[in-house]
């Protein structure tokens, strides 16, 4: 029997569902149960990496979910390390990275495997994402703007996307190993963007299916990340990691000469954005906590970034035109500013 109680096929595991957990005791039961009750008919294992939670998550999982393979981290290591550890342990041919604040619809795993088998080639896949509180469709994967901000796709007929969110990301274990998983120095946020951009550069598809889906309590596991009462709400830490890691992805994945053209413009606009937000909100920490750290991080990680870029570009099989085919022209931040006003940070 598999960890979910589903009948094992040939004694093997078809899919390993990897759930990174930090202080998610109030969320993890629903997440695990949505996997355990999948109507798919193949063997599934559930792996949970607990990132040194302080809310009793480990004891709770051991007591209530003995079928789960639990990794208990002695220290908080972040989302990238957590998923790399789970992927290394996984026995399945396929991996599903699933947020602890997400729940799968009953046919989710079967839908993903059917598409993987139809493609008959390694790919990164996802399903429609619905807001857990309202039921509204949030996205079916995302396109990207020139500065690597995600642009939600809500067209079920548009399968090719630029970004599959790590909240529900399906990938073969072989492709995960080929790509090297997540760069552990990303820590958290933007690692899914990196993986998708790198996969596309190497000629692999990144697709979002228009059927089935998952419900997501956006921001519950990390804070912020969505609009509330018409205003965009996020946290300093989330925004800082997002701006830093999007910049990292631009450096390592943007084809030449676009990287050399876009990076200076991107950095200039980040600095201007930080100054303006600090002035308009009369708080200097917008600049000092979010935007200036991007510049220092580039300097600190410059050797790692240069080395990674060289490795990625040596394996590149996609033309620049095809790489940018999933990009929109207009900056998404501008649209969000017009729609929601200045972001509110906590």
The tens digit of pLDDT for each residue in 36-60 reads 999 999 999 999 999 999 999 999 9
pLDDT in the model for residue 222: 55
| C-alpha radius of gyration, the chain, whole number | 20
Determine contact, residues 189/80, Cβ cutoff 8 Å: no
CA distance 312 to 293: 25
Cα-based torsion angle of the residue sequence 204, 207, 213, 215 in order, rounded to the nearest 10 degrees? 80
pLDDT in the model for residue 335: 74
Q: Phi and psi at residue 96, in whole multiples of 5°? A: -125, 110
CA distance 27 to 103: 9
Determine contact, residues 128/140, Cβ cutoff 8 Å: yes
**What structural domains and CATH numbers belong to the chain?**
15-216 (3.90.550.10), 226-345 (no CATH)
**Each residue of 322-340: pLDDT tens digit?**
999 999 998 887 777 767 6
Determine contact, residues 124/161, Cβ cutoff 8 Å: no
Task: State the DSSP code for 219.
Answer: T
pTM reported for the whole predicted model: 0.92
Q: Number of helices and strands (H, E) in the chain?
A: 13, 16
Determine contact, residues 95/171, Cβ cutoff 8 Å: yes
* Pairing mode, strands 231-234 and 102-104: unpaired
Cβ contacts of 265 within 8 Å, gap of 6 or more: none
* Pairing mode, strands 15-21 and 44-50: parallel
pLDDT in the model for residue 340: 65
The Cα-based distances of 55 to 82, 122, 209, 216 in angstroms read 18, 38, 35, 21
| Residues of the chain under the 50 pLDDT cut | 1-10
Closest to 324 (Cα-Cα) out of 160, 192, 209: 160
Using CA of residue 177, residue 78, residue 249, residue 161, what is the dihedral sign? Answer: positive
In what helix (H) or strand (E) does residue 153 lie, and over which residues does it extend? none
Closest to 34 (Cα-Cα) out of 110, 112, 133, 103: 103
Determine the angle formed by the axes of helices 236-253 and 302-314, rounding to 10 degrees. 50
Alpha helices in the chain (DSSP H): 25-36, 57-64, 79-89, 108-119, 173-179, 191-201, 236-253, 258-281, 285-286, 292-300, 302-314, 320-323, 332-340
CA distance 124 to 144: 16
- Detail the DSSP E strand segments found in 94-135: 94-99, 102-104, 123-126, 129-131
């Amino acid at each position: 029997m598999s960890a979910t109680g589903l009948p094992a096929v040939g004694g093997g595991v078809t899919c390993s569902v990897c759930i990174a957990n930090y202080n998610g005791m109030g969320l993890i039961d629903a997440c695990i149960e949505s996997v355990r009750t999948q109507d798919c008919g193949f063997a599934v294992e559930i792996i949970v990496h607990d990132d040194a939670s302080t809310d009793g998550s480990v004891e709770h999982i051991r007591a209530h979910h003995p079928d789960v393979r639990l990794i208990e981290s002695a220290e908080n290591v972040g989302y990238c390390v957590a998923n790399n550890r789970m992927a290394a342990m996984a026995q399945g041919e396929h991996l599903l990275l699933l947020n602890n604040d997400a729940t799968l619809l009953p046919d989710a795993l079967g839908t993903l495997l059917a598409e993987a088998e139809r493609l008959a080639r390694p790919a990164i896949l996802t399903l429609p994402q619905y807001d857990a509180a309202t039921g509204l469709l949030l996205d079916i994967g995302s396109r990207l703007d020139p500065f690597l901000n995600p642009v939600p796709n809500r067209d079920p007929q548009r399968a090719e996307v630029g970004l599959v969110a790590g909240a529900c990301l399906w990938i073969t274990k072989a492709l995960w190993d080929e790509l090297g998983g997540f760069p552990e120095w990303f820590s958290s946020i933007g690692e899914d963007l990196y993986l998708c951009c790198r996969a596309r550069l190497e000629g692999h598809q990144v697709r979002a299916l228009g059927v089935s889906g998952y419900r997501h309590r956006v921001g519950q596991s990390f804070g912020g990340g969505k609009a509330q009462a018409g205003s965009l709400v996020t946290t300093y830490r989330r925004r800082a990691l997002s701006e830093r890691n999007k910049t990292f992805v631009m450096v390592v994945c943007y084809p030449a000469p676009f990287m050399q053209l876009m990076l200076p413009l991107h950095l200039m606009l980040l600095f201007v954005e930080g100054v303006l937000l600090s002035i308009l909100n009369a708080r200097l920490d917008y600049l000092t906590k979010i935007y200036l750290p991007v510049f220092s991080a580039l300097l600190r990680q410059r050797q790692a970034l240069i080395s990674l870029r060289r490795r990625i570009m040596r394996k590149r099989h996609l033309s620049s035109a095809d790489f940018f085919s999933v990009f929109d022209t207009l900056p998404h931040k501008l649209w969000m500013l017009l729609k929601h006003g200045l972001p509110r940070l906590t």
